[in-house]
């Protein structure tokens, strides 16, 4: 069926529109939202195997021929990310039941989450750069709703900054798309990959490539452009933070990975070296933040920035090991960040604060939570055989094979800082003298712990069974490194 690749986009859209009809029936909202996320996950897994067995899936909307209509392209890379996204949204919906509160559930919380899912899945699937802008706007609209959802004082203040930064970056995005169109005369990504190598004047294209790096860099939170992220992400409640932290920056990372492998390859000596340098600076800046704060949310938020740097460094090397490592690490990072936010969310609820200095001694009262967190923290730092290890290993290998070997050394050294920052939460919150805790009912605690533990278990499986996933990852990297496969798939129709 040719339309299968659109199912992970259409299902959440229909469910979200339907949920708007009865905002006050909470039981129905929860049930249908869960069902929608589950259906999306099933269809995306189905799609992944279809792409794996039958090659890249393409549908050009409205039956127009390829460079004129909007192409939606699902290769292994994008379908892997769609599966991961659907999985995370499913867990976020589960985690929201005990944590988000009835007031928020009654005011279109689940529709907003599903609209966000529509935007993210669409951005991962589209094969047209203007359509990418449209889907990014869809997910941004939903994220505006979510960041201000509930209307607390801090949320209102931070949402103004968040809105302003994103509106400016969206305006730049349209401008960059217009420049690209005026030079190449097309916006279809496959067509761009055909036309860009034919243009002799690479100077202007390099400028456009850097402009796109700035645009996507705002979304992905790379070095000088991450300034808005820590404060904005700190404001909304934990399930929303987990959703943002796991998915939103990754759309920017995906867009950089896609454009910098598919068509902005005319002047790699400049653009990709710039990307590598910025990636390393991003890692360093993130490390400073992760060590500087005594707030559990902030520590994990700065770890998002570190991970963005690690992933982009792998891509900038443009060799097999680097790109494979980036894909593995990207998927790992989406899941582990959601899991960590879930876990520190439980810790923050138990203590009634996210300040590490006011915590201590949880190991006696909540041992399962403690061990689950420790596994997740080791996974984040990439201790073998957990999920961060294979991705980071390949990225480091790619760096040593590529032109920027010093970057690999920085990544290895900063892994220790990542470990330190994550274990510091463990030491302060779980060891030491017990501190007075807020009473937490057993069923609510279990309802929070259950999705977190399953998600951590999934990441462990992803790390230990990395060999199982390697055929998918190497297939995804193959398409990224050989744009001709992508081009042929789009134009064969």
Query: Cβ distance 225 to 211 under 8 Å?
Result: no
DSSP 34-64: HHHHHHHHHHHHHHHHHHHHH--EEEEGGG-
**Shortest distance, position 180 Cβ to another protein, whole Å:** 24
Sites for another protein among residues 299-338 (CB under 8 A): none
Closest CA to 73 of 135, 38, 125: 125
Question: Interface with another protein includes 66 (CB under 8 A)?
Answer: no
- Based on CB atoms, which residue is closest to another protein, 139 or 335? 139
Q: CA angle at residue 388 from 387 to 389, to 5 degrees?
A: 95
- Based on CB atoms, which residue is closest to another protein, 17 or 171? 17
Q: How far is CA 197 from the centre of its chain?
A: 30
Q: Which helix (H) or strand (E) holds 448?
A: helix 442-464
Closest CA to 112 of 43, 247, 27, 15: 15
Residue 43's CB is within 10 A of a number of other CB atoms, namely 21
Specify the stretch interacting with another protein by CB under 8 A; choose among 1-9, 130-138, 350-358, 379-387. Answer: 1-9
Question: Interface with another protein includes 54 (CB under 8 A)?
Answer: no
Among 38, 42, 45, 61, binds another protein (CB under 8 A): 61
Among 1, 53, 441, 442, binds another protein (CB under 8 A): 1
Torsion region of 62: left, alpha or beta (phi above 0 gives left; psi -120 to 50 gives alpha): left
Specify the stretch interacting with another protein by CB under 8 A; choose among 16-24, 83-91, 159-167, 204-212. Answer: 16-24
Number of alpha carbons in the 13 Å side-chain half-sphere of residue 268:
15
Question: Interface with another protein includes 113 (CB under 8 A)?
Answer: no
Question: Interface with another protein includes 134 (CB under 8 A)?
Answer: no
Among 21, 54, 436, 467, binds another protein (CB under 8 A): 21
Among 27, 53, 54, 63, binds another protein (CB under 8 A): 63
Can you read off the two tokens belonging to residue 292? Answer: 């500087």
Among 59, 140, 246, 280, binds another protein (CB under 8 A): 59
Binding mask 395-434 for another protein (x = CB under 8 A): ----------------------------------------
Q: CA angle at residue 305 from 301 to 307, to 5 degrees?
A: 110
Q: Which helix (H) or strand (E) holds 72?
A: strand 71-74
- Based on CB atoms, which residue is closest to another protein, 57 or 85? 57
Question: Interface with another protein includes 199 (CB under 8 A)?
Answer: no
Binding site for another protein (CB under 8 A): 1-3, 6, 10, 13-14, 17-18, 20-21, 23, 59-63, 69, 72
């Amino acid at each position: 069926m040719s339309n299968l690749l659109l199912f992970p986009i259409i299902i959440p859209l229909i469910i979200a529109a339907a949920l708007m009809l009865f905002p006050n029936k909470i039981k129905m909202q929860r049930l249908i939202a869960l069902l929608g996320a589950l259906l999306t996950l099933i269809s995306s897994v189905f799609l992944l195997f279809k792409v794996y067995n039958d090659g890249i899936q393409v549908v050009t909307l409205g039956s127009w021929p390829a460079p004129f209509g909007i192409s939606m392209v699902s290769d292994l890379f994008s379908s892997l990310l769609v599966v991961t996204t659907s999985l995370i949204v499913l867990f976020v919906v589960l985690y929201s039941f005990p944590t988000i509160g009835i007031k928020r559930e009654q005011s279109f919380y689940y529709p907003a989450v599903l609209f966000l899912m529509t935007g993210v899945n669409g951005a991962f699937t589209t094969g047209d750069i203007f359509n990418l802008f449209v889907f990014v706007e869809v997910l941004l609209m939903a994220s505006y709703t979510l960041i201000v959802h509930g209307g607390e004082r801090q949320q209102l203040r931070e949402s103004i900054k968040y809105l302003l930064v994103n509106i400016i970056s969206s305006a730049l995005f349209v401008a960059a798309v217009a420049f690209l169109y005026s030079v190449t005369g097309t916006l279809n990504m496959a067509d761009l990959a055909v036309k860009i190598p034919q243009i002799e004047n690479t100077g202007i294209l390099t400028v456009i490539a850097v402009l796109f790096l700035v645009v996507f860099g705002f979304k992905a939170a790379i070095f000088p452009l991450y300034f808005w992220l820590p404060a904005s992400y700190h404001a909304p409640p934990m399930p929303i933070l987990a959703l943002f932290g796991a998915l939103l920056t990754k759309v920017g990372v995906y867009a950089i990975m896609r454009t910098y492998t598919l068509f902005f390859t005319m002047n790699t000596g400049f653009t990709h070296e710039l990307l590598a340098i910025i990636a390393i600076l991003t890692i360093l800046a993130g490390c400073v933040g992760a060590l500087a704060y005594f707030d559990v949310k902030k520590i994990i938020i700065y770890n998002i920035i570190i991970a963005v740097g690690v992933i982009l460094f792998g891509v900038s090397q443009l060799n097999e090991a680097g790109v494979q490592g980036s894909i593995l690490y990207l998927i790992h990072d989406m899941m582990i960040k959601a899991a960590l936010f879930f876990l520190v969310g439980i810790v923050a609820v138990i203590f009634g604060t996210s300040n590490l200095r006011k915590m201590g001694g949880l190991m006696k009262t909540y041992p399962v939570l403690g061990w689950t967190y420790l596994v997740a923290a080791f996974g984040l730092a990439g201790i073998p055989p957990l999920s961060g290890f294979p991705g980071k290993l390949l990225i480091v290998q790619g760096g040593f094979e590529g032109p920027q070997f010093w970057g690999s050394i920085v990544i290895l050294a900063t892994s220790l800082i990542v470990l330190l920052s994550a274990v510091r939460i463990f030491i302060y919150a779980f060891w030491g003298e017990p501190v007075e805790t807020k009473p937490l009912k057993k069923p609510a605690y279990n309802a929070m712990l259950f999705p977190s533990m399953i998600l951590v278990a999934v990441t462990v499986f992803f790390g230990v069974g990395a060999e199982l996933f390697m055929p998918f990852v190497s297939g995804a990297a193959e398409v990224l490194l050989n744009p001709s496969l992508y081009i042929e798939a789009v134009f064969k129709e």
